[in-house]
Amino acid sequence: MSAGTLRIALVGNPNCGKTALFNLLTGGRQKVANYAGVTVERKEGRFVTPSGRVLQLLDLPGTYSFDANSPDEQITRDVCEGNYPGEAAPDLIVCVADATNLRLHLRFVLEVKRLGRPVVLALNMMDAAKRRGIVIDVAELQHRLGVPVVETVAVKRGGAKALIERVDGDIPVAAPAEADDAASRAGLHEQVRALLAATVTMPRATAAIDDALDRWALHPVFGLGILAVLMFLIFQAVFSWAKPIMDAIQDGITALGVWVTAALPAESALHSLLNDGVFAGLGAVLVFLPQILILFLFILILEESGYLPRAAFLLDRLMFKAGLTGRAFIPLLSSFACAIPGIMATRSITDPRDRLTTILVAPLMTCSARLPVYTLLIAAFIPSRTVWGIFNLQGVVLFTLYVVGIVSALAVAWVIKRFRKDKSEHALLMELPSYRMPHVRDVALGLWERAKIFLKRVGGIILALTVLLWFLSSFPGAPEGATQPAIDYSLAGRIGHVMQYVFAPIGFNWQICIALIPGLAAREVAVSALGTVYAMSGTDDAVASQLGPMIAHTWSLPTALSLLAWYVFAPQCMSTLAVIRRETNSWRNVALTAGYLFGLAYLASLITYQVARALS
Amino acid sequence: MRLSDLPKGAAAVVVQVDDTQADDPIAQRLRDLGFVAGEPVRLVARGPLGADPLLVQIGSTRFALRRSEAARVSVQVDSV
């Protein structure tokens, strides 16, 4: 066949194994981007056939029908028809169908065929079909459909051989385009029934193993129990595996900074820029990676295995009452470790409106970066005494802070639901696919993709903002014979002094106000920033241990409680805002999130401070 | 009878999907997913909280539907 690039679009129902097939064909040679103006992912890869033909594969979003309900489906349809601006029409459409679920998938095949473009049908998961005793008369199916049919096993090396041979040959002739109207649409199911009756025999409708697993996984009691145990194990893993790696990264980057800048004079601005700006920023970016990768390792395994929709099924009712969806549970739970992977995980929420609500409330989940701040304040101000016989008051306060975060998230989601303009019903309508063994290649590629997205799209923003914060905290420098710490004379110091007027009603002194500025880099940075303001030096731990007695001595209890309340809500993490920008493609949503969180934080602190002062 | 009223484990045959409003996208989606006249369905499981959502098997596929979604599907229980 002729040389020249052949453009192939991969389409199919969700859960047809399309992405696994795409991964098998293209391996790591993938480019992931977004379609302009929407958050739908565009995945493209390359592949060279044995005869030297270059194939450009486009992995289109999974879709059940062309009766576009969502942006994904609209894009799939437009691209297939060649109507998507800036996207050339594909030379060939490869429609992927799950051989074990043809009753559902063949209908979409018929819809694709009606577009009047060259189509090849890939019957995927033929191995699973054979194991289940499903017999498909492929020759007859090909004859009746009028499009070439090949068998594939996307999870097996060489499983796409037949497909590769087919696309290396002549492009099949397109069937004539047919009108797409309600009447002809209704007839599609009749055609599917006739095709199935003539070409497929199935011993039983579902896999016995799925039925058995679901009896446990979806059981009202055991199902919730299994989910709770799974979540507990994931959290254990995230905290016990990620923490040492994060510490190592932090120390490594700091050491690297010291080594690189060893030749520079210690007091120079460049020395400080490199150490406290560039390398600190680099550390701030990389330190998120272990949590992101470990959380996504589990999320991808849960997703690939088919468990994720089961978890959504179990919890949909609870989440729906708050104006969310069952699918929001895992992203929100992940946000307890860190909102960044949590927000990235909202991609599994197919409905754009539900997804946005989930993203907006995710920062309210108490992430692990708040813990150092909570620990410092609780240890300094809350007496360690026993309450109600068995509880430690410090533990009770910490627990309350977590509960306040969760309750606020549910309340905010409810308010969004109550006041949004679009009050239409958005469906759950979620397929629970067959259980599958997660495939190493697909999980690895998924992880690689997340890491790349985070480093490329989010890392740059975090790095730039860290350098900006460094600049604010360092310039202008302290004058000769300065008596206060240098930060006091800097722009950040001046801003802090001005901020004091705004923050006085919530009980923040100027030291806190100043510390809030570098603390924007990440919540836990506020602790070391306070140390800087109070002119302490040493390691973070040393600063924290000196800081406790110092603030216990100089701050009032209402101020401390107010700061705790502040940290439950405040958008005190620009990395989260950077991820929201990346995931929603909109600065408006960033402003909305930052604005409402700031408002809530101020209000909560104001109430806390004024009430605590009135009581004490 | 409505699909949402089926007892757990019961089988039935779809009669039709009713729109709750003009041009109901959820009803249309249900039809696209195979909820069409004559198709056998079975209520496999119910959610642990408030018996919502419902897990409905149609053909080889299992779908989770909220009660309000399942209520759009009218079914005929086999009287065998």
Shared domain for A448 and A483, answered yes or no, is no
Query: Do B52 and A316 lie within an 8 Å CB cutoff?
Result: yes
pLDDT single digits (tens) A280-306: 778 877 887 888 888 889 989 998 999
Phi-psi region of B38 (alpha: psi -120 to 50; beta: other; left: phi over 0): left
Do the chains contact at A429 and B26, CB–CB below 8 Å? Answer: yes
Phi, psi dihedral angles at A12 (to 5 degrees) = 165, 170
**Is A380 a domain residue?**
no
User: pLDDT (tens digit, 9 = 90+) per residue, A6-59?
Assistant: 999 999 998 899 999 999 999 877 887 777 766 678 899 998 988 888 999 999
How many domains does the structure of chain B reveal? 1
Count how many residues are written for chain B. 80
pLDDT digits (tens, 9 = 90+) for B17-46: 999 988 888 998 999 899 999 999 999 999
Q: Is residue A558 part of a domain?
A: yes
Calpha distance A123→A121 (Å, rounded): 6
- The answer to whether position A353 is within a domain reads yes
- Give the structural domain span for B7: 3-77
Q: Do A16 and A92 lie in a common domain?
A: yes
For residues A117 and A226, membership in a common domain is answered with no
Q: Confirm or reject contact between B52 and chain A (CB < 8 A).
A: yes
Confidence of residue A236 (pLDDT cuts 50, 70, 90): confident
Distance from the B61 Cα atom to the nearest Cα atom in chain A, whole angstroms = 7
Same-domain check for residues A173 and A247: no
Kindly calculate the radius of gyration of chain B based on its CA atoms and give it in whole angstroms: 12
Task: Give the pLDDT confidence score for residue A1 in this predicted structure.
Answer: 44
Q: Is the pLDDT of residue A445 over 80?
A: yes
- Average pLDDT, integer, range A543-552: 80
Minimal Cβ distance to A223: which of B34, B48, B59: B48
Is residue A116 situated within a structural domain? yes
Q: Domain for residue A381, yes or no? A: no
Assign B70 to helix, strand or coil. Answer: helix
**Are A136 and A94 in a shared domain?**
yes
- Min Cα distance A446 → chain B (Å) is 26
Do A230 and A135 lie in one domain? The reply is no
Query: The CATH number of the domain where B61 resides is what?
Result: 2.30.30.90
Whether cis (ω within 30° of 0) applies to the bond prior to A433 is no
Asked if residues B63 and A429 have their Cβ atoms less than 8 Å apart, the reply is: yes
Q: Residue A164: what pLDDT? A: 93
- Number of helices (H), then strands (E), belonging to chain A: the values are 27, 12
Q: Does residue B54 contact residue B64 with C-beta atoms inside 8 Å?
A: yes
Give the CA diameter of chain A. Answer: 94
Contact between residue A325 and residue A299 where contact means Cβ atoms under 8 Å apart: no
User: How far is it between the farthest Cα atoms of chain B?
Assistant: 36
pLDDT digits (tens, 9 = 90+) for A146-203: 999 999 999 888 899 999 999 888 888 888 888 777 777 778 999 999 999 999 999 8
Are A144 and A252 in the same domain? Answer: no
Distance from CA of A211 to the nearest CA of B (A): 9
Nearest to B63 among A102, A185, A430 (CB): A430
A101 touches chain B (CB under 8 A): yes
Q: What percent of chain A has pLDDT over 70?
A: 97
Backbone dihedral region of A208: left (phi > 0), alpha (psi from -120 to 50 degrees) or beta?
A: alpha
Give the model's pLDDT for residue A37.
Answer: 66
Which chain A residues are within 8 Å of B11, Cβ to Cβ? none
A347 with A444, same domain: the answer is: yes
Residue A101 domain flag: yes
A425 vs B47, B53, B68: nearest CB? B68
In the prediction, which pLDDT does B68 show? 93
Q: Do B62 and A425 touch (CB under 8 A)?
A: no
Query: Which CATH number belongs to the domain containing residue A60 in this structure?
Result: 3.40.50.300
Rounded to two decimals, the ipTM of the complex is: 0.95
Residues of chain A numbered 134-153 and touching chain B (CB < 8 Å): none
Assess whether pLDDT exceeds 60 at residue A2: no
For tokens 């600190």, name the residue. A280
| pTM (2 d.p.) | 0.85
pLDDT at A536: 63
**Neighboring chain B residues of A221 at a CB cutoff of 8 Å:** 48
Residues A153 and A255 in one domain: no
Question: Helix, strand or coil for residue A476?
Answer: coil
* Domains in chain A, number: 3
- The string of pLDDT tens digits covering residues B7-16 is 999 999 999 9
Least confident range of A150-159, A198-207, A543-552, A576-585: A543-552
**According to the per-residue pLDDT averaged within each range, which of A8-12, A320-324, A576-580 is highest?**
A8-12
**pLDDT tens digits for range A78-108:** 999 888 888 889 999 999 999 999 999 999 9
d(CA A203, CA A332): 41
> By CA distance, what is B16's nearest residue in A?
A186
Same domain, A41 and A187: yes
The whole domain housing A547 covers: 462-615
pLDDT of residue A538: 60
Nearest to A314 among B28, B34, B47 (CB): B47
Question: Does the CA dihedral A559-A560-A565-A569 come out positive or negative?
Answer: positive
